[in-house]
Amino acid sequence: MSDYLENNVQEIAAGKFAAILQDNGFYIKPQNNTSDGIEVIETSSDKLVGIIAFLKGYGFDTLFSVSGIDAGENFVVAYHLYSSNFKSNLVLKVWLDKNNPEVDSLSSIYSAANWHERETFDLLGIKFRNHPDLKRILLPDDWVGHPLRKDYVMNDSRLVWNER
């Protein structure tokens, strides 16, 4: 959500990779490093694919995690990248609308994103646009709801046999 980025005026100095992205004209917002010193960058969902494509060309050759977070008012999707050139990690975060969480799929850039995005869709219900095969991966196909959402209540009457 670009609104979120504009309204949040807290200034954090850009790290190494954030500065490189800013020099190349990408609209990003650097965040505090993680406790183990990994750089965190926030961006908006419509700019994500361009930034990731740039980072892959720049040297981040591995996408090793895509995860979703239910942050109350928003959904957050976090992408963890690794570069074997720089021997360093990078975290990209995208804030999404709670009612209509949609973000572009990265599976055309990193094939590893395919199953990670399916898992995020399965457990949090975040839609990934242009994903080749966006269906459930961990739960049965006819499952109702997305269990890692904070407001998830399991009231599927088909599962009454499984109660204690």
Partner 1 sequence: MKIIITAVDFIYNWARSNSVWPMTFATSCCGIEMISTSAAKYDIARFGSEVFRATPRQADLVITAGTLTHRMAPALVKLYEQMPEPKYVIAMGACAITGGMFENDSYSVVRGVDRLIPVDVYVPGCPPRPEALLDGLIQLQKKIRTETILDRKKYLESHRAKVKLSDDSELALPMDEMEIYHWGIQTEGYNLDENVLTRENVEDNCVRLFGK
Q: Which residues bind partner 1 (CB under 8 A)?
A: 138-140, 143, 147, 152, 154, 157-164
> Which amino acid is located at 89 in the chain?
N
**Helices within 99-152 (DSSP H only):** 113-124
- DSSP secondary structure string for all residues of 29-88: EEEPPPTT--EEEEE-GGGHHHHHHHHHHHT--EEEEEEEEE-SSEEEEEEEEEETTTTE
68 touches 148 (CB < 8 A) = yes
Q: Minimum CB separation from partner 1 for residue 147, in Å?
A: 5
Between 56 and 149, CB nearer to partner 1: 149
Pairing state between β 127-129 and 62-70: unpaired
Q: Minimum CB separation from partner 1 for residue 111, in Å?
A: 23
Q: Minimum CB separation from partner 1 for residue 161, in Å?
A: 4
Distance CA 21, CA 87 (A): 18
Between 37 and 140, CB nearer to partner 1: 140
Between 13 and 160, CB nearer to partner 1: 160
Pairing state between β 102-104 and 88-97: unpaired
Q: Minimum CB separation from partner 1 for residue 70, in Å?
A: 15
Q: Take residue 64 and report the two structure tokens written for it.
A: 């090793």
Q: Minimum CB separation from partner 1 for residue 97, in Å?
A: 25
Between 12 and 154, CB nearer to partner 1: 154
Between 82 and 115, CB nearer to partner 1: 115
